Amino acid sequence: MRIQSNGIQSSVDTATELAAAIRDLSGRAPIPALFDVRRWVGGDPRVWKAFLDNAMSAFSAVTFVADPESLPLLGGFPELTNRMLVPVEVFADEPEALTFLMSYKA
């Protein structure tokens, strides 16, 4: 699944609602997800906790596609999360991100 930022700030509610929508669309089976954060403007720091709270039930693997401007918004989250709950990687190139995710397709 490809999720693209619409350029607004994320909140705990939007992160929780997104995970619930993904679970509904996938029939409740965790799926690989690509988050295109190149237009993301950041969010409440609690967004990461909401993401982690929902990660294992919604995602089998996660990639973030970031550019030099959006990369600092991710902070150390991808590196800290990788393999802890689900595989998480950051890519500048979307085709590379999709290749990574394909190995986690259910």
**Domain containing residue 70: CATH number:** 3.30.750
Q: CA-CA distances (angstroms) from residue 56 to 9, 31, 33, 67?
A: 23, 10, 12, 26
Number of domains in the chain: 1
pLDDT at 90 (0 to 100): 94
The percentage of residues in the chain with a pLDDT greater than 70, rounded to a whole number, is: 98
pLDDT at 106 (0 to 100): 64
pLDDT at 83 (0 to 100): 67
Other Cβ atoms less than 10 A from the Cβ of 59: the count is 25
Question: 57 near 87, Cβ under 8 Å?
Answer: no
- Asked whether the whole model's pTM tops 0.85, one would answer no
pLDDT at 5 (0 to 100): 87
pLDDT tens readout for residues 37-82: 999 888 788 888 888 888 888 889 999 999 999 999 888 888 877 7
Give yes or no for residue 32 having a pLDDT over 90.
yes
* Residue 47 lies in domain: 2-102
3-class DSSP state of 41: coil
